[in-house]
Amino acid sequence: MPLSETQIELLKRFERGLDPRHPERSRIPARILGYGEISTVFEVEAEGLEGLAAKRLPLFRDWSEAQRYGATLDEYVRLLTEEVGLRLPRHQHACFERASSSPVFYIVQDKVSDGWIGHRALHRLAQEGAQMLILDVMRQLRKVWDYNRRQDQVRVAIDGQLSNWVLEGFHPDGGLTEGTSLAYLDTSTPLFRVGGVEQLDPELFLRSAPSFLAWILRIFVLKDVVDRYYDFHRVAVDLVANLYKEQRPEFIPGAVEVVNRFFRGEAVELGIRPVTEQEVAAYYREDAMIWRLYLGMRKVDRWLRASLLRREYPYILPGRVLR
């Protein structure tokens, strides 16, 4: 069911009154639910938008870019649900002009309980429960690579981090049960290839980067970052390494064991090489360093554009990120 005209008008009013530097001071109150590299997720506190999470993407220079992105997003959601077989919350989206006349795109999903999101549920789990969660995520991820093997035209990518999954029916006191099922949240980077051609414009990843850094990222980082999500081994390494960010390093040996047992057993026909603890640690150190530097440079860019040049800075940056 698409967004109503009233809901779209509420999002427009929210956007007009949004203070990207201090979102809490915006004319329509909103609570930030999460940050991505290219987006921010809000719960807009307005009658008519109750129970919804709105992901804001102010990336686009013109309507044609935004329309292409919307078509790519719709097809990615279709692939994940109808072809791959993942469960997703109900998806809707809207696109309209900002004050600067450039488009802003909102992805709107049914809001889920904060405690059901994977990285938050992790902190309520003991070692055995954490291992069960990792195994459940691996089984969902396998559906992507099973689909990719069934045909030779389309290749679907996915980011398997715990923060991208919701444990529907999760009860913190009871842990994971037969009634707990996983659904996938993060569709804002709709990566898939048709005939070897990337359908999402990779330049969008650089749109929020400082101009003085974009060319370096384009040459040395962008292709590798995109390619990792098509490689099941690297997606699994990223999933396990996320336990460092969540301050649960004691779970890593068990998680590595679960992943490798899965690759040797249930997914043996995929021929995925095993993961090592040393590989996970090295990956996390490099990834954390890159994103820490990247966020620091974005804050410099915000100061230059907003304070020195008196120009709009449309992106919302997190404060200190614990890594």
Q: How many helices (H) and strands (E) does the chain have?
A: 9, 10
Decide: 36 and 96 in contact? Cβ < 8 Å.
no
Encoded amino acid at 292, one letter: R
Determine the pLDDT at residue 320. 64
pLDDT digits (tens, 9 = 90+) for 231-289: 999 999 999 999 999 999 999 999 999 999 999 999 999 999 999 999 999 999 988 88
Q: What is the pLDDT of residue 36?
A: 77
Query: What's the gap between Cα 226 and its chain centre?
Result: 13
Superfamily (CATH H level) for 5-110? Phosphorylase Kinase; domain 1 (3.30.200.20)
Where are the alpha helices (H) located in 192-251, listed in sequence order? 211-220, 222-228, 232-245
Structure tokens at 61: 């220079």
- Longest Cα–Cα distance in the chain: 58
For the entire predicted model, the pTM comes to 0.92
What type of residue is 229? Y
- Flag residues of the chain having pLDDT under 70: 1, 172-175, 177-179, 319-323
Give every CB contact of residue 109 below 8 A, 6+ residues apart in sequence: 52, 53, 55, 89, 90, 91, 92, 185
